[in-house]
Amino acid sequence: MFGNIAAVKQLSLSVPEKCVYGFLGPNGAGKTTTIRALLGLIKPTEGKISIFGKLMPEEKIPILWNIGAIVEDAALYLHSTGYDNLRISQIILKCDRSRIDEVLQLVDLERDANRPVRQYSTGMKQRLALARALLGKPELLILDEPTNGLDPAGIQEIRNLIKAFPQQFGVTVFLSSHLLSEIEQIADYVGIVKDGALVFEGKLEDLKGRFSSYVKLCTDDNGQARNILEKHGFAFPPSDSPEALSVQLRSKEDAPRIVNILVNNNISIFHVSQEARSLENIFLSLTTPTL
Amino acid sequence: MKRLLLAECVKMKRTLVLALAVLVPLVLCCIACFPRIRVGMYDPSATDGWTTMFSESLGMWAVMIGPAFIALQTALASNIEKSNRMYAQMYCLPVPRWHVFLAKFVIVSGVIALSQALLLLFAVVSGLIIRWLRLRPEFVWTAFGAKFEKAATSSISCFVLCLFMIAIYSYMSERWKNMLVVLGVGIIAPLILTNFIFHRVMIVTMPWLLHFNSLWGYLRNPSLLALKQNLWIPHMVSVLGAIVVLLLGCKLVEERDVLS
């Protein structure tokens, strides 16, 4: 809770192992708050946080041994060299010193390791932060908007790195972003959050399949039409406009069936059209407030 | 804890904190031992070389530099974790937050101790230079061992008496992100409290006056010496005060939500 506003409520995320999970939502949806709570940086006003089957913050230290994270921005010691930045984490994480060279090589920073970080570009800083997050061989990597502030080339570099992590290191990546295009290119699974609550979770294909094909109806009584169709087992994706009723199609036969049902129930239909939505439209319809 | 201390040492590399830890005692010694002693500003009647060197250096440290320097070093050390986001990153590591806070306190204390040790070293070197160049021919340079031991004891005492102050600054650095708060208190509090230096209770209880108790061995003024009390009182006040403030600091870091 921040004041009277619940930033996150009843959120249960199922993140499959060794995949990239995209945690998507508009600004202010509660993504960063969720990540902070998962990392024990903030305490919930009510309820419990469970991760790896352990309770946060009660079992914070054992949980954090299995997590590598970048919270919001790279957060590096600018006066120190890249190597020393990693050395600080390596000492605390008790891992082998040779691991520093391994992760530096992975993010292609070996040659710049002895330069002060203040001389690094934003992309290099972000890569160094990724290297630091990987240092302790975590099971779960939590990355909060890792491409923020990067140029297109930097974004591409980070994307390619992240995409390879699950297969290369067997790590699960939990990636938050407000950019659908980014998640679309990296993630296997997606969780969409709006006003602190989960509105969709599953594979990206499921998201497309569930919400992409629908009919848009304008009738003399949309409320009544909705009630009737609901009884016939139809689902209603969030509508783009308040005057129209959107009905989810499960097969191509559904469109004429919907018309028949409504006509048989004396509902006048002024407009009917079959529509397909882009992933972006699906995301917008799920996350923007309906009128 | 050992890991965090080592990590804090790595963080200190290339910092202003470390540079100042060497530079400030060096400059202080240069000011204390050359302009002042050479022209007899301190005590023209003094003829004991080593006693003058040590009393002048330690006196300058306690009166002029100590509290402000400690405030500056604590604020700078804390400022290495520049923003809350740096703390967020630090607190994502599998170590208790209060360990991070205590490690920072220990390192700052270590840096202050190093500065005081260097101050003594520079005082010895300055004495040797003054003796060699015969800048004060009337000075007698005898019984170095005993005088160094007395200076070292006073210096260690001064350090212990500063612990309360270091703990307060550490707490404040953690509590307020802006380092000006610590610096402001580090400058203003000693300025105000120095007016109470001759108060029998204040001198053994106020964190910003405690370190003056380490100078009793060098005072010759009978009216001042009359104020001297049992030295274990200020030492206990400093150590216990530091422990209480550190406990509050540990509680603060453990309970605080880390927001941007």
Give the model's confidence band at B126: pLDDT under 50 very low, under 70 low, under 90 confident, else very high: confident
Distance between CA atoms of residues B95 and A92, nearest Å: 8
Residues of B in contact with A42 (CB under 8 A): 257-259
What integer pLDDT is reported at residue B80 of this predicted model? Answer: 82
> What percent of chain B is predicted at pLDDT more than 90?
24
Q: Could you tell me if B172 and B183 are in contact, meaning their C-beta atoms sit under 8 angstroms apart? A: no
Give the model's confidence band at A291: pLDDT under 50 very low, under 70 low, under 90 confident, else very high: very low
Q: Which of residues 55 through 84 in chain B touch A, CB cutoff 8 A?
A: 80, 82-83
What integer pLDDT is reported at residue B222 of this predicted model? Answer: 64
pLDDT for A274 beyond 80: no
- Structure letter (DSSP) for residue B215: G
| A120-157 confidence digits (pLDDT tens) | 888 888 889 888 988 888 988 898 888 777 778 778 87
Give the model's confidence band at A211: pLDDT under 50 very low, under 70 low, under 90 confident, else very high: low
What integer pLDDT is reported at residue A285 of this predicted model? Answer: 67
What mean pLDDT, rounded, does chain A reach?
A: 81
> What mean pLDDT comes out for the span A251-265?
84
> What mean pLDDT comes out for the span A2-9?
59
Of residues B180 and B85, the one with the higher pLDDT is B180
pLDDT for B44 beyond 80: no
The kind and range of the H/E element at A151 are: none
Asked if A88 has any chain B CB less than 8 Å from its own CB, the reply is: yes
Give the model's confidence band at B232: pLDDT under 50 very low, under 70 low, under 90 confident, else very high: confident
Q: Which two tokens stand for residue B145?
A: 């061992």
Shortest Cα–Cα distance, A182 to chain B (Å): 24
Helix (H, G, I), strand (E, B) or coil at A43: coil
Asked if B2 has any chain A CB less than 8 Å from its own CB, the reply is: no
Residues of A in contact with B92 (CB under 8 A): 39, 41, 64, 67, 69, 71
Asked if B257 has any chain A CB less than 8 Å from its own CB, the reply is: yes
Distance between CA atoms of residues B51 and B121, nearest Å: 14
Q: Could you tell me if A89 and B93 are in contact, meaning their C-beta atoms sit under 8 angstroms apart? A: yes
Give the model's confidence band at B147: pLDDT under 50 very low, under 70 low, under 90 confident, else very high: confident
Please give the full DSSP string across B201-214, using - where no structure is assigned.
THHHH-TTTGGGGG
Asked if A39 has any chain B CB less than 8 Å from its own CB, the reply is: yes
Asked if A56 has any chain B CB less than 8 Å from its own CB, the reply is: no
Residues of A in contact with B7 (CB under 8 A): 88-89, 91-92
Give the model's confidence band at B47: pLDDT under 50 very low, under 70 low, under 90 confident, else very high: confident
Cα–Cα distances (Å) from A90 to A7, A97, A157, B80, B134, in that order, read 34, 7, 24, 18, 54
> What percent of chain A is predicted at pLDDT more than 70?
88
Q: Which two tokens stand for residue A96?
A: 């082998």
pLDDT for A116 beyond 80: yes
Q: What is the ipTM of this complex?
A: 0.78
Asked if A276 has any chain B CB less than 8 Å from its own CB, the reply is: no
Residue of A nearest to B87 (CA): A75
Residues of B in contact with A69 (CB under 8 A): 89, 92
* Contact between A75 and B85 using a beta-carbon 8 Å cutoff: yes
Asked if B85 has any chain A CB less than 8 Å from its own CB, the reply is: yes
